[in-house]
Amino acid sequence: MHPTSSAVSTPKSWDIFCRVIDNYGDIGVCWRLARQLASEHNQQVRLWVDDLNALVRIWPDAQLADQQELAGVDVRHWPDAFPTDIGIAQVVIEAFACDIPDIYLQQMAEQKKNGQAPLWINLEYLSAEPWVEDCHSMVSVHPGTGLRKTFFFPGFTPRTGGLLREQDIAERQHEFDRTFFLNSLGITAEHGALLISLFAYENTAVASLFDVWASSNRPIHCLIPQGKVLTSINQYLPEPLASGQGYTRGNLRLDAIPFLTQTQYDELLWACDINFVRGEDSFVRAQWAGKPFVWHIYPQEENAHITKLDAFLDRFLSQQDQQLTANVSDLWHNWNQQHDVAGAWSQLMEQLPQWQALSHDWKKHLRSQADLASQLIVLSSGGGGQKSTTEKPQTTV
């Protein structure tokens, strides 16, 4: 049985610390988690963000302010000189090993001396690699203070921390009005066209992708929120494409759309037939959309990201026939390595119904696992079975 909020959650105070390294994934994950803990689990959440511009981008109601109340979350700017008088929370989440402020750590140590150490959790990056199961819930002892830190790994199996998933997502998807949503973006989907969203890093493979789309039998309508991939797209086009502008060649229609709010972006994924996603958060959201998706993984040194890509593909494709496995893998690898994707795309289009069934079944499979916020609630209530170690577990990114 899944942990549920009603079964285990008594309101606690939480501090979530988020450093924006680049792009929107760090804040994207932390903001979803903060909102969920507050709205679904009735927790008192304070979110510390060092760069509020990133939050404003995905949640335009946010202000560049030291303190604000947003969606039930107390959002704070994380300043270089961290305040000494704010009081520490019962649960402290250090997102992606961002190192909480020294002053705050000292206060945690003081609390420990009083027998009231907070629960200190490091929320790790998502990976499908097998070692994640062993490292999830490991505890290390901080050398200076003796405080215990639990390493919490999101993941795709019941022996991990799971994935962020709202409790009402299926209901919202069911009630979703695709035409109304697309019209609100000024888009009318052409009847019979394949509607595709494109969110990616710079990627020169767009040239081969657009060539094959332009000559495809079925019309292709591609929606591109503002972002890095437009740099590569603009090299391909005769004129740079600004937000609100379109371009047509053969059977391909491109529309550049504004950067959406996080909620609208989810809806874009639901509205489209196929989604190109990247990083961590949009990658997870594409899986909840249950539609075929292509992942542009966050590039790392020494191709460490390709190992992660393969680890996910191994899980995702483990029950599939050889042909579909080869076609999905080829398209994803070529896309990530910025090679020609035309052949792989055409092959996969021959198997579109199977690709759709795979994405639908994968979502169903993932839904049978406990979601990340609920698992954190269990941990905060003394459950979750931490594993002892004195070493910091191996991590990537």
Active site residues: 26, 280
Site string for ligand TRH, 347-386 (x = CB under 6 A): ----------------------------------------
- Laid out side by side, the sheet with 252-257 consists of 246-249, 252-257, 220-225, 194-198, 274-278, 293-296
Three-class SS state of 64: coil
Residues 6+ apart with CB under 8 A from 12: 43, 44, 89, 90, 91, 380
Q: In what order do the strands lie in the sheet with 67-70?
A: 67-70, 73-77, 44-49, 13-18, 91-95, 119-123, 148-152, 138-141, 387-388
CA nearest neighbour of 123 among 6, 283, 280: 280
* 298 is an interface residue for ligand TRH by CB under 6 A: yes
Stretch near ligand TRH under the rule CB under 6 A, chosen from 21-29, 142-150, 167-175, 305-313 = 21-29
Token pair for residue 151?
């390493």
Rounded Cα distance between 290 and 282, Å, is: 13
279 touching ligand TRH, by CB under 6 A: yes
Nearer to ligand TRH, 132 or 260 (CB): 260
Tokens representing 340 are: 């020609």
| Binding test (CB under 6 A) with ligand TRH, winner from 28, 154, 155, 290 | 28
Q: By C-beta, is 261 or 329 nearer to ligand TRH?
A: 261
Give the C-alpha separation, 311 to 332, whole Å: 13
Q: Which of 156, 265, 312, 335 binds ligand TRH (CB under 6 A)?
A: 265
The candidate with the shortest Cα–Cα distance to 258, out of 284, 234, 223, is 223
User: Which residue, 88 or 222, has its beta carbon nearer to ligand TRH?
Assistant: 222
Return the residue of 147, 260, 317, 373 that touches ligand TRH, per CB under 6 A.
Answer: 260
Stretch that binds ligand TRH, among 75-83, 97-105, 257-265, 346-354 (CB under 6 A): 257-265
Contact between residue 228 and residue 202 where contact means Cβ atoms under 8 Å apart: yes
By CB under 6 A, tell whether 270 contacts ligand TRH: no
Helices (H), 70-120: 102-113
Positions 139 through 198 that interact with ligand TRH (CB under 6 A): none
Span of 25-33, 129-137, 186-194, 317-325 interacting with ligand TRH by CB under 6 A: 25-33
Binding mask 203-232 for ligand TRH (x = CB under 6 A): ----------------------x-x-----
Q: In the complex, what is the shortest distance from the CB of residue 280 to ligand TRH, in angstroms, rounded to a whole number?
A: 4
Asked if 74 interacts with ligand TRH (CB under 6 A), we say no
Find the Cα–Cα–Cα–Cα dihedral 299, 303, 305, 306, rounded to 10°.
120
Interface residues toward ligand TRH, by CB under 6 A = 21-26, 28, 58, 199, 225, 227, 259-262, 265, 278-283, 298, 397
